[in-house]
Protein backbone atom coordinates (compact mmCIF):
# COMPACT_ATOMS: atom_id res chain seq x y z
CA UNK A 1 0.00 0.00 0.00
CA UNK A 2 2.82 2.38 0.83
CA UNK A 3 4.41 1.64 -2.55
CA UNK A 4 1.14 2.45 -4.35
CA UNK A 5 0.86 5.78 -2.51
CA UNK A 6 4.39 6.76 -3.49
CA UNK A 7 3.75 5.86 -7.14
CA UNK A 8 0.49 7.84 -7.18
CA UNK A 9 2.23 10.80 -5.54
CA UNK A 10 4.81 10.77 -8.34
CA UNK A 11 2.24 10.43 -11.12
CA UNK A 12 -0.54 12.77 -9.95
CA UNK A 13 -0.18 16.52 -10.34
CA UNK A 14 -1.87 19.49 -8.77
CA UNK A 15 -3.63 21.87 -11.17
CA UNK A 16 -0.92 24.45 -10.51
CA UNK A 17 1.84 22.07 -11.59
CA UNK A 18 -0.24 20.85 -14.53
CA UNK A 19 -0.74 24.37 -15.90
CA UNK A 20 2.99 24.97 -15.55
CA UNK A 21 3.69 21.87 -17.64
CA UNK A 22 1.04 22.93 -20.17
CA UNK A 23 2.84 26.23 -20.71
CA UNK A 24 6.23 24.54 -20.72
CA UNK A 25 5.18 22.05 -23.41
CA UNK A 26 4.39 24.91 -25.81
CA UNK A 27 8.07 25.79 -26.03
CA UNK A 28 10.05 22.80 -24.75
CA UNK A 29 9.96 19.04 -25.02
CA UNK A 30 8.61 17.44 -21.86
CA UNK A 31 10.27 14.43 -20.28
CA UNK A 32 8.41 11.13 -20.73
CA UNK A 33 7.32 11.09 -17.07
CA UNK A 34 6.02 14.67 -17.31
CA UNK A 35 4.08 13.75 -20.47
CA UNK A 36 2.46 10.84 -18.65
CA UNK A 37 1.69 12.95 -15.58
CA UNK A 38 0.15 15.71 -17.69
CA UNK A 39 -1.84 13.22 -19.79
CA UNK A 40 -3.23 11.58 -16.64
CA UNK A 41 -4.09 14.89 -14.98
CA UNK A 42 -5.72 16.38 -18.09
CA UNK A 43 -7.73 13.18 -18.50
CA UNK A 44 -9.16 13.58 -15.02
CA UNK A 45 -9.38 17.37 -14.68
CA UNK A 46 -11.74 19.05 -17.14
CA UNK A 47 -10.49 22.51 -16.22
CA UNK A 48 -6.88 21.69 -17.09
CA UNK A 49 -7.98 19.87 -20.24
CA UNK A 50 -9.77 23.04 -21.43
CA UNK A 51 -6.86 25.23 -20.29
CA UNK A 52 -4.53 23.12 -22.43
CA UNK A 53 -6.76 23.47 -25.50
CA UNK A 54 -7.16 27.21 -25.02
CA UNK A 55 -3.45 27.69 -24.39
CA UNK A 56 -2.59 25.90 -27.64
CA UNK A 57 -5.20 27.91 -29.53
CA UNK A 58 -3.93 31.25 -28.23
CA UNK A 59 -0.33 30.30 -28.95
CA UNK A 60 -1.19 29.28 -32.51
CA UNK A 61 -3.19 32.47 -33.12
CA UNK A 62 -0.44 34.68 -31.72
CA UNK A 63 2.15 33.01 -33.95
CA UNK A 64 -0.15 33.49 -36.92
CA UNK A 65 -0.69 37.15 -36.04
CA UNK A 66 3.06 37.65 -35.67
CA UNK A 67 3.75 36.15 -39.09
CA UNK A 68 1.01 38.26 -40.64
CA UNK A 69 2.42 41.48 -39.21
CA UNK A 70 6.15 40.90 -39.12
CA UNK A 71 7.03 44.35 -40.42
CA UNK A 72 4.23 46.39 -38.92
CA UNK A 73 4.67 48.13 -35.58
CA UNK A 74 1.09 47.52 -34.47
CA UNK A 75 -1.61 45.31 -35.98
CA UNK A 76 -4.44 47.12 -37.70
CA UNK A 77 -7.59 47.57 -35.61
CA UNK A 78 -9.63 45.48 -38.04
CA UNK A 79 -7.11 42.61 -37.68
CA UNK A 80 -7.31 42.77 -33.89
CA UNK A 81 -11.10 42.72 -34.05
CA UNK A 82 -11.03 39.79 -36.47
CA UNK A 83 -8.58 37.89 -34.24
CA UNK A 84 -10.77 38.50 -31.18
CA UNK A 85 -13.78 37.16 -33.08
CA UNK A 86 -11.83 34.06 -34.20
CA UNK A 87 -10.82 33.38 -30.60
CA UNK A 88 -14.41 33.75 -29.39
CA UNK A 89 -15.72 31.53 -32.21
CA UNK A 90 -13.09 28.87 -31.49
CA UNK A 91 -13.85 28.88 -27.76
CA UNK A 92 -17.61 28.61 -28.38
CA UNK A 93 -17.08 25.53 -30.55
CA UNK A 94 -15.25 23.68 -27.76
In the chain, where are the structural domains located? 2-74
Q: pLDDT tens digits, residue range 33-69? A: 999 999 999 999 999 999 999 999 999 988 888 777 6
Residue 73 predicted with pLDDT over 70 = no
CA 2 to chain centre: 33
Residue 82 predicted with pLDDT over 90 = no
Please work out, in degrees rounded to the nearest 5, the angle formed at the alpha carbon of residue 62 by the alpha carbons of 94 and 88: 30
Q: In this predicted structure, what is the pLDDT of residue 71?
A: 58
Amino acid sequence: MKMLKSVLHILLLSCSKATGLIEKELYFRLSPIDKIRLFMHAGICGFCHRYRKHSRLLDRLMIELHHTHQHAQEPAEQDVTALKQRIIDSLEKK
